[in-house]
A = this chain, B = another copy of it.
Amino acid sequence: MKRARIMVASVVLLLGAIATAWAAGEAPSAPLSEQTQACLACHETYLSGIPADWRTSRHSMTTPAAAQAKPTAERRISAAAVPERLRSVAVGCYECHSLNPERHKDSFDHFGFRINVVVSPNDCATCHPVEAEQYAPSKKANAFHNLKDNPVFSSLVEAVDSVKTVHAGQIASAPATDATRAETCYACHGTDVTVAGLKTVTTPLGDLQFPDLTGWPNQGVGRVNPDGSLGSCTACHPRHSFSTAIARKPYTCSQCHLEPDVPAWEIYRESKHGNIMESVGQQWNWDAVPWTVGRDITAPTCAACHVSLLAGPKGDTIAPRNHDFGGRLWIRLFGLIYSHPQPKSGRTYEIRNQDGLPLPTTWTQGLATSYLIDQKEQEARRTQMRQICASCHSTDWAEKHLSRMETTAAETDAMVRAATDVMTAAWDQGLADRSNPFDEGLEQMWVEQWLFYADSVRLSSAMMGQDLATFEHGWWSLTHNLAQMHDAVKERAGPH
């Protein structure tokens, strides 16, 4: 019986041919530009995995003109007008890698074609300007600068990534290397991709010249591109299928949002929503635009609540598409010492709190209010999110869920405050050195209190995880870590 099913599945391959004809409305045989044909002539031999992946993409099967002809709600392209030369051909190699060469420091001559190595959000904006505009001012787009240009966080990066040696019984540090930074914090936040000139690379076709990129490879969300734009669409829509479905799968978000500092993935996975997705998600329609609650999906993924255009069964919009990933959120739950209202601007390094530090709160919970969204905006976003919940849960259910989360934000803030009080006492008593607040064992325990454990409990509350609120980096860890900090300070202070 099972074998019979497998055999039928094989026949599906055969049916593909028939289906190709059916799907003619989608123009699966979209014409290729001459230039793209030239690219493929070599690259289906060298780098053959890329064209093969691209051939699975919508880009290879449709044209901007066909994409624009769809009803508004189903449209995957947001440009009012697409340049004439691109309108009626497939979105191929040359169509993307040749855009805006004057802005691209990574533009180079490749067998007579002017090619950019890196395709940037500004290039994607040719067809997808609304998404690019939503993304550009977001925290994600600014993720490189939010780390690099915030002295508090860049000193944390340095404390972590610097190479330590032991001399005369003391730990000494050599500066972190670019290679290590690019593989750790900046792997997700994005690197600064610059062009150091041209270099010669030996290839199967002989020696060729290519731009010599620094900070490369990288697909971080706040990557600084050689054309000056910020971000990398391929962080979530990976090359070269640029799939909507992949971006909607929680595995995508899990590349960066995972234990211990942002355990969104683990919490989702252990939640009822994650269980349903893992159990029956293979029967969902991951690619539909709009994404219809209950029909296309029977539980939300990250994208459903935070990004996608969600619709009800009668085509009513539950939430419009929003590529500012924090745009539906009112409280900020992770990555900082205390929870706080979302910042007004995605350039969080510009914030100044009452102590003059680029942080949204002081270390004693004072809010940098003028940099944070006001009550009205918080309320509006909260209402939108509650409406998303209310697609499948009663208003009362949703309200009680959200209000629990707000209680939790306050309680975890208190648990962090207790640890901060222990830390401050240690600094005051000279049992630790506050000059760099991140480079001693005790200080690192304090960091774990907010960056690991409070974050874990708050995100668990938001997404209905259970163990990550309890034993796995949850209240257990908040409690145990505080006790251990307390014991360490007492031990160090010695007998009185």
B56–A298 CB distance below 8 A: yes
A313–B52 CB distance below 8 A: yes
Interface-lining segment among A16-24, A72-80, A369-377? A16-24
A391–B275 CB distance below 8 A: no
**Can you tell how many copies of this chain the complex includes?**
3
A436 and B53 CA atoms in complex are apart in Å by 54
A14–B15 CB distance below 8 A: yes
Chain B nearest CB: distance from A137 CB in Å?
24
Report A211-244 CB contacts with B as 1/0, cut-off 8 Å: 0110011010000000000000000001001010
A210 and B212 CA atoms in complex are apart in Å by 66
Interface-lining segment among A81-89, A161-169, A339-347, A353-361? A161-169
Give the chain B neighbours of A279 by CB distance below 8 A.
Answer: 243, 245-246, 249, 251-252
Known contacts A8-B16, A52-B294: A441-B407 contact under CB 8 Å: no
A472–B252 CB distance below 8 A: no
Known contacts A19-B5, A466-B188: A486-B249 contact under CB 8 Å: no
B285–A397 CB distance below 8 A: no
Chain B nearest CB: distance from A384 CB in Å?
14
Chain B nearest CB: distance from A52 CB in Å?
2
**Size of interface on A: residues with Cβ below 8 Å to B:** 156
Q: Determine whether A6 belongs to the interface, using a CB cutoff of 8 Å to chain B.
A: yes
A487 and B443 CA atoms in complex are apart in Å by 12
A179 and B411 CA atoms in complex are apart in Å by 10
A14 and B271 CA atoms in complex are apart in Å by 27
B3–A12 CB distance below 8 A: no
A256 and B471 CA atoms in complex are apart in Å by 11
A421–B166 CB distance below 8 A: yes
A51–B294 CB distance below 8 A: yes
Known contacts A217-B400, A246-B279, A283-B6: A471-B261 contact under CB 8 Å: yes
Interface-lining segment among A124-132, A324-332, A475-483? A475-483
B283–A270 CB distance below 8 A: no
B404–A182 CB distance below 8 A: yes
A16–B1 CB distance below 8 A: yes
Q: Determine whether A67 belongs to the interface, using a CB cutoff of 8 Å to chain B.
A: no
Give the chain B neighbours of A1 by CB distance below 8 A.
Answer: 16, 20, 28, 55-56, 285, 295
Known contacts A184-B474, A474-B184: A238-B272 contact under CB 8 Å: yes
Known contacts A49-B298, A201-B395: A187-B469 contact under CB 8 Å: yes
Report A148-188 CB contacts with B as 1/0, cut-off 8 Å: 00000000000111111110010100000101101111011
Give the chain B neighbours of A390 by CB distance below 8 A.
Answer: 46-47
Please name 22 pairs of A and B residues whose Cβ atoms are closer than 8 Å in the assembled complex, sorted by A: A1-B16, A3-B55, A5-B12, A11-B12, A11-B19, A47-B392, A48-B293, A48-B312, A49-B293, A49-B294, A49-B298, A164-B415, A184-B470, A201-B395, A201-B396, A210-B396, A249-B279, A251-B269, A255-B466, A256-B467, A261-B467, A452-B471
